[in-house]
């Protein structure tokens, strides 16, 4: 039995943040019913690269879920949704604040309908505050949360990290909130509650010492490329074949082993470099010494030497590296998943790894409205709410 077996989740959100939270719960056994607009479905079905008309991203984001096609803007769709929510444990939504209330699906209404219900609400700026009604996407949350200002090379335009990390971080905070609320309800005898997740706050929660450093020293942290300010040495170092070795020699004993490995016993034995603060003061000198050594060797030669010296080092992985890497394969982080039409595709495995109640892929991402008829009969909707399966 999986950890969340028996937990019923109704997913009303679209695209990334809400559905990623639902996917996380579904991977560990929750019965997640995804509500999609009839005819078009979740827009994610058409995002990024499509195979036979459907996004391959969709296969990951919606695995283990069931699909119901309902128009939440209509009284019939709202009526059907309330019927589902009477028996649900969790509802997930990531609409602009006020939208659920306009549909007659706000917290007060749902709590009265089902006092045990837990409601996860993910939005750009949260359910309160002067920005609550502004539309928000991950890119804006990443910027407001402080991440965008730190991403990129010094003196260059701030860049995004390449994925919608703000949405995914919000989803993970949301899934954690659901688990805390379930524990409070089921282990402590509590009632349902609202989990209010803002995109910018989820990013901001990851920003380490950003605020205390500003408060204590007036320091405004800036972009630093591949280095990590205030911690040394840790950087990307060029190699003779054009590759880059990522080397983290910032532990005190690790630093000594690194210096010995590159033949810089003078730096290894220098008492001023025994601890991090001393190394930070001379980080340019240390980085230059390391790169002078890496430029004499290929990337693989660098990694071989540093592995033998027990110095943390690695390369920059492409997706081609990832899908063929023995560590990924050994830990089942690259798995083959069947799609609803019977095809197969490689997808990321399940995280985290639980020893007694591990996650699993039970069934593929659904066709649009695939389970509408069956679920409508189960909960007794009026027939007009049932929508035929739509291949999208």
Residues involved in catalysis: 167
The rounded distance, in Å, linking the Cα atoms of 61 and 361 is 12
Strands (E), 82-159: 90-93, 118-123
Residue 178 makes CB contacts below 8 A (sequence gap 6+) with 21, 25, 90, 118, 120, 195
Place of tokens 């996004």: 55
Please classify residue 150 by burial: count the beta carbons closer than 10 Å to its beta carbon, then call 0-12 exposed, 13-18 middle and 19+ buried: middle
CA dihedral (321, 59, 93, 137) positive or negative: positive
Residue 95 makes CB contacts below 8 A (sequence gap 6+) with 12, 13, 123
CA dihedral (119, 120, 124, 125) positive or negative: positive
The CB-based long-range contact list for 213-221 (8 Å cut-off, 24+ gap) reads: 221/149, 221/150
**What values do phi and psi take at 7, rounded to 5?**
-85, 125
Cβ neighbours of 130 (radius 10 Å): 7
Helix/strand/coil for 338: strand
């Amino acid at each position: 039995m999986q950890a969340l077996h028996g937990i019923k989740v109704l997913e009303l959100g679209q695209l990334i943040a809400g559905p990623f939270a639902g996917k996380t719960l579904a991977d560990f056994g929750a019965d997640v019913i995804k509500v999609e607009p009839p005819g078009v479905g979740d827009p994610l079905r058409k995002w990024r690269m499509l195979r036979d008309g459907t996004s391959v991203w969709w296969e990951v984001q919606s695995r283990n879920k069931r699909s119901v096609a309902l128009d939440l803007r209509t009284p019939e769709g709202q009526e059907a949704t309330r019927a589902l929510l009477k028996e649900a444990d969790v509802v997930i939504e990531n609409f602009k604040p006020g939208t659920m209330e306009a549909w007659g699906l706000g917290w007060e209404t749902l709590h009265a309908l089902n006092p045990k219900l837990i409601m996860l609400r993910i939005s750009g700026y949260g359910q309160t505050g002067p920005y609550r009604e502004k539309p928000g996407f991950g890119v804006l949350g990443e910027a407001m949360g402080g991440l965008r200002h730190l991403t990129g090379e010094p003196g260059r335009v701030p860049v995004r990290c390449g994925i919608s990390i703000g949405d995914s971080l919000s989803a993970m905070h949301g899934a954690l909130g659901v688990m805390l609320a379930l524990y409070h309800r089921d282990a402590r005898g509590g009632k349902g509650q609202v989990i209010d997740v803002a995109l910018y706050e989820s990013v901001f929660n990851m920003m380490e010492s950003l605020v205390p450093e500003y408060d204590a020293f007036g320091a405004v942290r800036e972009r630093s490329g591949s280095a990590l300010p205030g911690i040394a040495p840790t950087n990307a170092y060029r190699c003779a074949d054009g590759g880059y070795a990522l080397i983290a020699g910032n532990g005190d004993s690790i630093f000594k082993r690194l210096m010995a490995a590159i033949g810089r016993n003078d730096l290894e034995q220098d008492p001023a470099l025994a601890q991090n603060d001393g190394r930070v003061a001379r980080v340019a000198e240390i980085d230059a010494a390391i790169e002078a050594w890496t430029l004499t060797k290929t990337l693989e030669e660098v990694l071989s030497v540093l592995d033998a010296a027990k110095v943390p080092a690695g390369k920059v992985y492409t997706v081609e590296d990832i899908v063929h890497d023995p560590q990924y394969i050994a830990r089942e982080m690259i798995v083959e998943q069947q799609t609803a039409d019977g095809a197969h595709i490689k997808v990321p495995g399940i995280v985290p790894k639980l020893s007694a109640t591990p996650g699993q892929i039970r069934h593929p991402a659904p066709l649009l409205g695939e389970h509408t008829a069956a679920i409508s009969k189960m909960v007794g909707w009026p027939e007009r709410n049932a929508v035929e399966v739509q291949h999208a």
